[in-house]
């Protein structure tokens, strides 16, 4: 009985923490943020902090980050937690007419966990090319723009692949399996130059 009570308290506390995180994001219109900051650094909006398996996403109509759900049930990733801070590149859209999924370009930021709703300046170090349900599902892999906030000491794809090949493999395996085996297809990796071209390909405002 004590165990059941402790589990109930834990679940309630976890849910309360998630609600606080989402509430703290306010009604920021992340969809209007420019792709690049005034410092010419690429920007990213964090939806899901590193280390959680709760699926959060930005709702463009409500202008806030909400808990994603399927058939009225909260969506929880039935796998390992997110291996980095997951979010999107603002002012981008993967046009369905060109094979995209209709959403903003996804990004995984390798860094310490950041709060949901954080806006980060980042440096792309690679791009993971995937296809999900017949649609292009590209993932930009990035690190913080400020060197003091980086947890891996690399600046480009070559360094990432040689110095942190195991981390690269973990990220690849995670994206190939977090929806279940065989649901996502791998097309390969490309470097930081290809990542920037991919961002500009889907960028809404080219300025």
Write the DSSP assignment of 137-178 as a string of letters: --EEEEEESSGGG-SS--SSHHHHHHHSHHHHHHHHHHHHHT
Kindly report, residue by residue over 98-122, the tens digit of the pLDDT.
888 888 999 999 999 999 999 999 9
Q: To which residue do tokens 């090949």 refer?
A: 165
Structural domain count, the chain = 1
pLDDT for residue 177: 96
Domain assignment of residue 186, yes or no? yes
Domain assignment of residue 58, yes or no? yes
Domain assignment of residue 207, yes or no? no
Q: Which residues of the chain have pLDDT under 50?
A: 4-5, 8, 10-13, 15-17, 19-27
pLDDT for residue 13: 46
Q: What is the pTM assigned to this prediction?
A: 0.85
Domain assignment of residue 147, yes or no? yes
If we measure between CA atoms, which residue out of 179, 165, 47, 166 comes closest to residue 113?
47
Could you list the residue range(s) of the whole structural domain that residue 162 is in?
2-202
Domain assignment of residue 112, yes or no? yes
Q: To which residue do tokens 């500009």 refer?
A: 200
Q: What is the dihedral of CA 107, 110, 115, 117, to 10 degrees?
A: -20
pLDDT for residue 3: 58
CATH number of the domain encompassing residue 138: 3.90.80.10
Domain assignment of residue 91, yes or no? yes
Contacts of 103 by beta carbon, 8 Å cutoff, 6+ apart: 88, 93, 94
pLDDT for residue 136: 85
């Amino acid at each position: 009985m004590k165990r059941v009570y402790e589990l109930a308290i834990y679940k309630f506390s976890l849910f309360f923490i998630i609600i606080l995180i989402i509430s703290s994001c306010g009604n920021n219109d992340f969809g209007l943020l420019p792709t690049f900051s005034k410092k010419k650094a690429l920007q990213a909006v964090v939806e899901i902090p590193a280390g959680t398996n709760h699926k959060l996403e930005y709702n463009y109509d409500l202008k806030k980050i909400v808990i994603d759900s399927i058939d009225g049930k909260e969506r929880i990733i039935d796998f390992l937690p997110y291996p980095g801070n997951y979010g999107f590149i603002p002012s981008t859209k993967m046009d369905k007419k060109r094979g995209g999924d209709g959403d903003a370009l996804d990004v995984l930021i390798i860094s310490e966990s950041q709060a949901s709703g954080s806006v980060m300046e980042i440096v792309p170090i690679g791009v993971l090319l995937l296809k999900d349900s017949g649609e292009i599902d590209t993932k930009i892999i990035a690190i913080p723009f400020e060197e003091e906030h980086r947890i891996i000491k690399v600046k480009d794809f070559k360094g990432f692949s040689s110095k942190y090949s195991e981390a690269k493999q973990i990220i690849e395996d995670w994206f190939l399996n977090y929806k279940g085996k065989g649901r996502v297809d791998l097309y390969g990796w490309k470097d930081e130059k290809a990542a920037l071209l991919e961002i500009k390909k889907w960028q809404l405002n080219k300025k």
